[in-house]
Structure 1
Amino acid sequence: MPYSYSVTSHSPASPHLVFAALVRAAAWPSWSPIDAVELEGGGDSEDRQQVGDTRIFRTGRAVSRERIVELVPDRRFGYENVGGPFRSYRGTVELAVAPRGGTDITWSAVFEPKLRLSGPFWRWYLTRFMRRMADGLASYAADSS
C-alpha cells in the first residue's frame, strides 16, 4: 500500500537560487540535517548533479542512496530512494514563483515501505524530517542571494 507526505516552505530567494542549492550535493549538509554526502562512483559533489547521478547521504549512523530521476531547471527536482527500508520511493521538490515574491517549495513523496504496517511511522517521520529539509533549503537559498 503506498503512502505519501507533502510539506511546504517559502523562501524569499528566486527559484533559480533554490534550484542551484538542490543540484549541488555538497551544499546539502549546510542546509539540512544530513551530515555528509558523496557521489556514488566518485565525482565531485561540488559540481551540479545530473539525471542518473546517485548520491549517498549519511545522517548519524543512517545511510541512504538516492538517484536523481528528473531535473526541470528552476521548477522540479525528482529523485528515487535506492534500497533502504522502501520497496519504492519517489520524491519530488516542486518550486513555484510565489505570488508575494520568492519561491514556494513543496517537498513530497509517494513511497511503499518494505515492512508491512510501518507506513504510518514512515509518513510521520518523513513529514517531520522533510519539513526540516524544506525550511533549511528556503533559508539557505535566501542567505545565498
Structure 2
Amino acid sequence: MPHSYTVTAHSTAGRAVVFAALVRAATWPVWSPIDAAEIEGGGDPSEPQRGGDIRVFRTGRAISREPVVELVADRRFGYENNGGPFRSYRGTVELAEASDGGTDITWSAVFEPKLPLSGPFWRWYLTRFMRRMVEGLAAYAGATAGDQGGT
C-alpha cells in the first residue's frame, strides 16, 4: 500500500539558485542532515547532475542510492531511492515562483515500505527528516543568493 508525505518551505532565493543547489549533490551535506554525497561511477558531485546519474548519500551508517529521474530546469527535480527499507520510493521537489521573488519549495514523495504495517512509522519519520531537508535547502539557497548579491 503506497504512503506519502509533503513538506514545504519558502526561500528568499529565486528558483534558479534553489535548483542549482538541488542538482549538485556536493551541496547536500552542507544544508541537510546528510553526512556525505558522491556520484556513483566517480562523477564530480560539485557539478550539476543529469538524468540517470546515481547519487550515493551517507547519513550515519545508512547509505542510499538515488537515481535522478526527472529534471525540469528551475521547476522540478525527481529522484528515486533504490533499496533500504522501501520497495519503491519516488521523490519530487517542486519549485514555484513566490510573489516576493523568492521560491516556494514543495518536497514530496510516494513510497511503499518493504515491511508490512511500517508505513505510518516511515511517513512520520520521513516527514520529520524531510522537513529538515526542505528548510535547510531554503536557508542555504537564500544565503547563497545573498552572497551573490541577489537571486
TM-score range (shorter-chain normalised) is over 0.9
Are positions 1:142 and 2:129 aligned together? Answer: no
One-letter code aligned to 1:35: D
- Can you list the C-alpha shifts for 1:74-111, whole angstroms capped at 9, x where unaligned? 00000000111111100000000012330000000000
Share of identical aligned residues, percent? 75
Instruction: Give, in whole Å, the separation in 2 of the partners of 1:100 and 1:17.
Output: 15
- TM-score, scaled to structure 2: 0.95
One-letter code aligned to 1:133: M
- Can you list the C-alpha shifts for 1:106-129, whole angstroms capped at 9, x where unaligned? 000000000001000000000000
Instruction: Give, in whole Å, the separation in 2 of the partners of 1:6 and 1:99.
Output: 21
Correspondence for 1:9: 9
Instruction: Give, in whole Å, the separation in 2 of the partners of 1:80 and 1:45.
Output: 17
Structure 1, unaligned runs of 5 or more: none
One-letter code aligned to 1:52: G
Number of paired residues? 145
Instruction: Classify the secondary structure of the residue corresponding to 2:29.
Output: helix
Correspondence for 1:85: 85
Alignment of 1:27-46 (within 5 A): 27-46=27-46
Correspondence for 2:66: 66
Q: C-alpha displacement at 1:32, in angstroms?
A: 0.3
Instruction: Give, in whole Å, the separation in 2 of the partners of 1:72 and 1:14.
Output: 15
Instruction: Classify the secondary structure of the residue corresponding to 2:16.
Output: helix
Q: C-alpha displacement at 1:133, in angstroms?
A: 0.3
- TM-score, scaled to structure 1: 0.98
Instruction: Give, in whole Å, the separation in 2 of the partners of 1:58 and 1:43.
Output: 16
CA RMSD of aligned residues (A): 0.6
- Can you list the C-alpha shifts for 1:55-75, whole angstroms capped at 9, x where unaligned? 110011111110000000000
One-letter code aligned to 1:138: A
Instruction: Classify the secondary structure of the residue corresponding to 2:28.
Output: helix
Instruction: Give, in whole Å, the separation in 2 of the partners of 1:99 and 1:126.
Output: 29
Q: C-alpha displacement at 1:43, in angstroms?
A: 1.1
Instruction: Classify the secondary structure of the residue corresponding to 2:84.
Output: coil
Correspondence for 1:50: 50
Structure 2, unaligned runs of 5 or more: 146-151
Instruction: Give, in whole Å, the separation in 1 of the partners of 2:11 and 2:70.
Output: 22
Instruction: Give, in whole Å, the separation in 2 of the partners of 1:43 and 1:89.
Output: 23
